[in-house]
Structure 1
Amino acid sequence: MANSTRRGFLKKGMFGLAALPLGMGVLTSKSFAASLPPLSEDAPNAKALNYKKVAADASSHPAFKEGSYCDNCMFWQPDTEGCTLFQGFSVEAKGWCQSWVQRPGS
């Protein structure tokens, strides 16, 4: 009887240890995301996509459409104010880049 209790304890313990990295990954990404540094317009990837912190500054770009902002783009991540195109950086909600695609349902 004591062996089955020990076996059960070990199984549960091993499962808990296996699940620990997954839980830590979620907590770490949320903590990290809350403090993303802002993207500079001078960054190479920002220049490549013509990122502007103020969308109106891009009004002369041929791909610019009135009302297109980072916060209504499908790449925008509202919980982190980040963008999947600029990993590790936050972008301005009312910014713009040439890769803007309207978020479904917006």
Structure 2
Amino acid sequence: MRTYRRRFMIFAASLASSALFNQESRADAPVLSESDPTAQGLGYKTDAARVDKAKFPKYQAGQTCANCQFFQGKSGDMTGPCTTFGGKLVNAKGWCSAYVKKA
């Protein structure tokens, strides 16, 4: 239960920070690293094929940042800003536990 609470708090903080995020151009946005503390807390991987399925049982094949509602890149982009991570650029083929399928 403690792990879920911590993930929720990290997720909530990242959403709050994204609301304050100044819309920089994509070229100016930093690329999210897997070693970033928020990325680690949410299990972000630049390649969804490397997700630890035992640690993140919610992961399902086919889930990627590119088809997540928080991904702000255009279709076909290799990277794009993610509101979960305050607008930092994430890999379109990546994944994190905040994944929500685009409607």
Which TM bucket (shorter chain)? 0.5 to 0.7
Q: Structure 1, unaligned stretches of length 5 or more? A: 1-27
Structure 2 residue 47 is the aligned partner of structure 1 residue 54: yes
- Tell which structure's C-alpha radius of gyration is larger: 1
Which structure's residues are more often helix, by fraction?
Answer: 1
* TM-score for both structures, normalised by structure 1: 0.64
**Structure 2 residue 23 is the aligned partner of structure 1 residue 29:** yes
Instruction: Please tell me whether the aligned partners of residues 59 and 65 of structure 1 are also in contact (alpha carbons under 8 angstroms).
Output: no
The residue type equivalent to 1:81 in the other structure is: G
**Gaps spanning 5+ residues in structure 2: where?**
1-21
- Percent identity between matched residues is 41
The question of 1:73 aligning with 2:64 is answered no
Instruction: Tell me the CA shift for residue 49 of structure 1.
Output: 0.5
Moved over 2 A (4+): 32-35
- Indicate the RMSD between aligned Cα atoms, in angstroms: 1.9
Counterpart in the other structure of 2:93: 94
CA distance in structure 1 between the aligned counterparts of 2:58 and 2:102, rounded to whole angstroms: 16
Distance 1:101 1:88 in 2: 16
**Secondary structure of the structure 1 residue equivalent to 2:40:** helix
